[in-house]
Amino acid sequence: MSANEIDFDIPVDRTEVPTLKFDGDTMQSLFGRADLWPSWVADMDFRAAPAVIEALQRRVDHGVFGYEPTRGELAAAIAAWYADRHGWHFRADRILYTPRTLNSLAVLIDLFSGEGDGVIVQPPVFYDFKLLIRAAGRRLVKNPLVLGDGGYEMDFDQLEQVVADQRNSLLILCNPHNPIGRAWHERDLSILLEICRDNGVFVIADEIHGDLCYGRRYTPLASVAADAAQHCATCLSPVKSFNLAGVAGSMIVLEDDDRFARCRHWYDRFEIGKNFVFSTAAMLAAYRDSADWLDRVNDYLRQNVALVRDKLVRDIPGVRLVEPDGTFLLWFDFRELGLDADQLASFLVRDAGIASNPGHWFGREGVGFARINIACPRVRLVAALEQLAKAVRAL
Ligand SMILES: Cc1ncc(COP(=O)(O)O)c(C=O)c1O
């Protein structure tokens, strides 16, 4: 299939293979019903890039799946991608591979904080951060985002207070931020890094959504100042942007010599950095050959966002869109409907028929909101918005 034949409008039947997002038993246990429009899992309903599918097919056709050597061309392709697309230059030999971004985060939390230390997060934020922090025996420390007329902003005054506590040793940044879709501005990133650096707080930047930006461009934290990369570790992955969650494949980029050596040692100790033939093939085809496909995805998402914006303004009073810069996860503001957390969750399921992520999953700062995944064919999105419009009218 050539790039010209890509058509994201054509629905793919994802129930032909085991798919978490569409899994009836899981939805039944999470939402109490299985007949819902599934928008809760953060993956896309689109087929992967043609070059990725071809690379995987070629690898399967070979039929022998033994060990392969570490492939320098993959690290070179990843470094070239970030240099060309995002203006961030890093050494290819400073990439460490992990199966998943959650593994990267868990390793970094373990290595760069101590038992009982505080790890700062900026809610409303991706709920797995909290789970990882608690599972590691660290404390969750909050630096909540503030919602103003121009969208969410970081609260640097409050951050100054929490970093002053010596027991808080790490901050996890989400850039672009799941669930609000903000690609943080270079100015915000510089201030954040300066505050953390001056107080001895190391930053883990989860930038898994960085390639999905269609508004303000994504700025890698490690690129904001000459010494920025010395004070942070960056978690990268093609799984969101190239829709490869089931293939897996993630990276940590760490430029500080001492911390890189410690991380490398950890890798050797637990033998986790070995490459997997399918993820290597898929990642190489993604970063080397699939830039056009990704541009089309971003275009399609931009149009889906416009459709949502338009429908809300025209037809769904009381529900607003928090304007995103990127990601396929939209943050809907339902506060004007006057429902509490339980009522909103039940309204979305029972009245609107939508399996989404109610805002309180992202911290109490998310109450009154919900996260809805729009990476689906437009025809499905239109139908879901219509269900929502009807449910709001009937309130
Ligand atoms: C910000 C963020 N980090 C990490 C992950 C999980 O990535 P992985 O499946 O590679 O562990 C997600 C998935 O939604 C995410 O949104």
pLDDT computed for residue 23 by the predictor: 96
In order of their start, the domains of the chain are 3-49+292-393 (3.90.1150.10), 53-289 (3.40.640.10)
| Dist CA 303 CA 375 (whole Å) | 11
Atom of ligand 1 nearest to the CA of 329: 16
Tens-place pLDDT, residues 309-336: 999 999 999 999 999 999 999 999 999 9
Contact of 250 with 103, CB cutoff 8 Å: yes
Query: Would you state the structure tokens that stand for residue 194, as one six-digit string?
Result: 């300066």
Q: What integer is the mean pLDDT of 3-18?
A: 86
Tens-place pLDDT, residues 189-213: 999 999 999 999 999 999 999 999 9
315: Cβ contacts below 8 Å, ≥ 6 apart: 385, 389
pLDDT computed for residue 275 by the predictor: 78
**Ligand 1 contacts CB of residue 100 (under 6 A):** yes
96 backbone dihedrals φ, ψ, rounded to 5°:
-120, 130
Output the CA torsion sign for 295, 297, 302, 303. Answer: positive
Residue 56: pLDDT over 60: yes
Q: Which of 105, 101, 143 is nearest to 122 (CA)?
A: 143
pLDDT computed for residue 267 by the predictor: 87
Q: What integer is the mean pLDDT of 80-106?
A: 96
Residue to mutate, 43, 44, 101, ligand 1, most ligand atoms under 8 Å from C-beta: 101
Question: Identity (one letter) of the amino acid at 267?
Answer: Y
**Separation of CA 245 and ligand 1 centre (Å):** 9
**Separation of CA 238 and ligand 1 centre (Å):** 10
**Separation of CA 317 and ligand 1 centre (Å):** 32
Residue to mutate, 41, 102, 244, 329, ligand 1, most ligand atoms under 8 Å from C-beta: 102
Atom of ligand 1 nearest to the CA of 250: 10
Q: Give the angle 17-20-24 at the CA atoms, nearest 5°.
A: 90
The pTM score is: 0.96
**Ligand 1 contacts CB of residue 105 (under 6 A):** no
Q: Which of 110, 87, 78 is nearest to 284 (CA)?
A: 78
**Ligand 1 contacts CB of residue 126 (under 6 A):** yes
pLDDT computed for residue 3 by the predictor: 46
**Ligand 1 contacts CB of residue 101 (under 6 A):** yes
Output the CA torsion 128→129→134→138 (10° steps).
170
**Separation of CA 332 and ligand 1 centre (Å):** 20
Tens-place pLDDT, residues 143-182: 999 999 889 999 999 999 999 999 999 999 999 999 999 9
Q: What integer is the mean pLDDT of 247-273?
A: 92
**Ligand 1 contacts CB of residue 125 (under 6 A):** no
Q: Give the angle 246-250-253 at the CA atoms, nearest 5°.
A: 170
Return mean pLDDT, the chain.
96
Q: 283 falls in which pLDDT band (50, 70, 90)? A: very high
Q: What integer is the mean pLDDT of 244-264?
A: 96
pLDDT computed for residue 100 by the predictor: 94
pLDDT computed for residue 349 by the predictor: 97
pLDDT computed for residue 363 by the predictor: 95
Atom of ligand 1 nearest to the CA of 99: 10
Residue 273: pLDDT over 80: no
Residue 2: pLDDT over 80: no
| Dist CA 247 CA 261 (whole Å) | 28
**Separation of CA 208 and ligand 1 centre (Å):** 7
Tens-place pLDDT, residues 348-390: 999 999 999 999 999 999 999 999 999 999 999 999 999 999 9
pLDDT computed for residue 1 by the predictor: 47
Q: Higher-confidence residue: 301 or 272?
A: 301
Contact of 255 with 91, CB cutoff 8 Å: yes
Q: What integer is the mean pLDDT of 294-313?
A: 98
**Ligand 1 contacts CB of residue 279 (under 6 A):** no
Lowest mean pLDDT among 235-249, 263-277, 281-295, 326-340: 263-277
**Separation of CA 236 and ligand 1 centre (Å):** 10
Residue 274: pLDDT over 90: no
**Ligand 1 contacts CB of residue 102 (under 6 A):** yes
pLDDT computed for residue 5 by the predictor: 60
Q: Which of 316, 303, 324, 310 is nearest to 348 (CA)?
A: 316
219 backbone dihedrals φ, ψ, rounded to 5°:
-115, 115
**Ligand 1 contacts CB of residue 208 (under 6 A):** yes
Q: Which of 238, 284, 233, 282 is nearest to 259 (CA)?
A: 233
